[in-house]
Chains A and B, each alone.
Chain A
């Protein structure tokens, strides 16, 4: 089963001659100049994984500081920098690039193309994003500039005005934040344009829009959303820089500017951003759940409609981050309704995954373990989201640890879990070797345990009135024991991630040979050799249904008979 040769030609039988020089420099040169979508995908993913470790280490420092009341592990200045950098890094240097990395690697393979529509724009976008990240981290050295020692931005990842204005944030740390996001934002825009162009114009013969794998559909929606929402963020950053250096007063409240305007600009980007991050996690789920349940996805047209629906509705919910800022009662009510509405297409997705599993024959290999945990956690994240959409309750829960618990349930419980699922699933394709399944199980169970110890508990400290972004708290508040529990969970997650990193490195050299199609899957990427050659497909594939490899494996009962 695993190694059957598929009639779709995967290789020309000649491999381009390897460079005779095995020197590090030649290897490095190859990666720097590459315009191959697969290499760029791997670059994106590796870059994000490195920043995942960095931002994870920042989180661990934060958790040590908060484990006890009145702790003195970190000074308030350092604490504020660390949570700002943790948030900014996780969203902009981990979340976005890793998901675009998967899109880069997989979209052309899944639609039977030989590369992205604009390979050189692709490379340019990656390097912009990469240098944006480096610029942000250079602030640790250069942030305060002439004012003294370097420091990182300390204005929180949403950088509410007017704390970011010159009067309250002297030095250059806030400039590094704004400029790094502008730079990486342009990289993101380039990739989004590229993905849209690729999916619309590079599909192989027979691959109509309604035969595209759901993964590709979701990446198309995400890219369209990115085009719309990065723009206000970039505009806001430009206005902020104008305020700081050219005497502008957009957000300078001391001169009549508006702090509320910044909040609108930021969240009109920031909320769709959450969906930009979570839709790729759905995309991964849509590929893994059917393969490991051995059933085609349930309700494909509804899934496409729900994805596009989420894309549209999510553009109109941003002010639910601002229920406490002093909107009118009518304004609040409108955003309650739009926010609750977004729950309906999201619910449809959960039901469809459930129905896909229903009646299947579920194989709990490592990708499916993570993908199953995803459904549970995303369900809870969705329900706590509904709680937060109830504006009066949000007046209590907003900016409390309940909110932190909710969005980490989305960002870790849903997105990071599915990033892990995706790596276990596609690592064999990208490297030709399987990841070690025993280490994978250790990783999974420890991570699940740590995750729930940390983030389940956070909901309760939130109920007890603990706000976010405080570097310490008084013992009499009674938040001490729960915070200790949360910190312990953080360490368990860190151990799990280290096991994962070890597995990635170990299996690269020692892993079992994967073959073309280790999971007996149905989308086009599994018809190519592992790793796929530079040109992906020796001959252009032709498809007749949503699951071309199912049709090949089951000629007696192909999908195209049932698809209208």
Chain B
């Protein structure tokens, strides 16, 4: 039943001609594959129940709009001044108890219905008990990137969250500095990430794929590039990913020079690479950097050219990022990029 309303709602929205034109325009515009975090294209339980509720709300408010807007339009057309009007004033009417009572009581009834429906969904989402099988992830918001910790699996990673399909994942939200907000529209509503005020949210994705989102609470200069990527994997893919992430960083003697650059510069103050002396915690964990698709919290594709540019001048991609330019020589940067590219 709920899925039917959702279908109808989604179709009604697609049928809206304005939106159809806009959607066409949006496909003509972009030159790559689209990844629009559309709130009406849910792929996970809380987001789906929200769509159901929002269609219901849209129907009620839409009906009110049609009735009141229609009456107003009628009044404008019917009662506008015409040249044939008599010079005298129209009859004066000061009020009517019955009419006024009616338009007070009807809205009250609407509020009661809408409130009860809303309250049900609030409790269903917010107070949902955590199933035993749920995956636990701790999300830490930092000025302008995301840290993901899987306490039971011993994994620490950054900016790209992996979760299994068809299973609940509970996210505990902490902040290392200022307020942020964790928002992946297709998976769930947003929940703020508040320092000194741990929050929790959960998702239960039904479809595999990549879902994007971003920080939704202004948090400083690079708030716009604090992007979120959530990979919903099949159970097999997820198990393989977990296995890979649990390994210490590969140590390839061919890139020992790059490793030396990393370990003898200030890189280690902020970054951690498991199995090496680098144990910093201010910046993202780089143990498996090369396994990630993006750099700079989702701002650019992770490839050697971008990585090189990023290390040379972090401001180039992300002006105001807290990572400083390390003033390394070209040779050192080449060695460093070669080393980091082996961290699968």
Contact = CB atoms under 8 A, between A and B. Distances in A.
Contacts of A471: 224
B217 interface: yes
Interface in B304-321: 319-320
A480 B90 contact: no
B30 A460 contact: no
A304 to B, nearest CB: 12
B181 A387 contact: no
B95 interface: yes
A324 interface: yes
A258 B197 contact: yes
B111 A340 contact: yes
Interface stretch (B117-125, B130-138, B155-163, B325-333): B117-125
B160 to A, nearest CB: 15
A478 B224 contact: no
A345 to B, nearest CB: 9
B192 A482 contact: no
A359 B49 contact: no
A393 B56 CA distance: 11
B264 interface: no
A387 B54 contact: yes
A228 interface: no
Interface residues on A, range: 35 or more
B183 interface: yes
Contacts of B58: 387
- Most chain B CB neighbours (cut-off 10 Å) among A301, A326, A358: A326
A239 interface: no
B72 A376 contact: yes
Contacts of B196: 253, 256-259
B195 A162 contact: yes
B179 interface: yes
B104 A481 contact: no
Interface string B195-233: 111010000000000001111111111111101000000
A395 B32 contact: no
A386 B224 contact: no
Interface stretch (B33-41, B245-253, B285-293): B33-41
A355 interface: yes
Nearest to B198: A326
Interface residues of B, number: 101
Contacts of A324: 181, 189-192, 216
Given A324-B181, A348-B103, A465 B80 contact: no
Given A298-B94, A362-B80, A395-B191, A332 B39 contact: no
A535 B115 CA distance: 53
Contact of B104 (A76, A344, A364, A478): A344
Interface in A465-524: 465, 467-482
Of B119, B143, B199, most A-chain CB atoms within 10 Å: B119
Contacts of B8: none
A379 B26 CA distance: 29
A477 B103 contact: no
Contacts of B183: 399, 465, 467
Interface in A155-179: 155-156, 160-163, 168
Nearest to B105: A344
A393 B50 contact: yes
B178 interface: yes
Given A295-B93, A359-B90, A465-B213, A481 B25 contact: yes
A324 B217 CA distance: 10
Residue among A299, A358, A467 with max Cβ neighbours from chain B (10 Å)? A467
Top-8 shortest CB links A-B: A395-B189, A465-B37, A470-B224, A253-B195, A326-B199, A299-B95, A478-B36, A383-B61
8 contacts: A329-B127, A354-B72, A355-B93, A386-B61, A390-B54, A471-B224, A475-B30, A480-B29
Given A336-B122, A392-B49, A399-B190, 7 more contacts: A154-B221, A259-B197, A293-B79, A341-B111, A344-B111, A361-B79, A362-B79
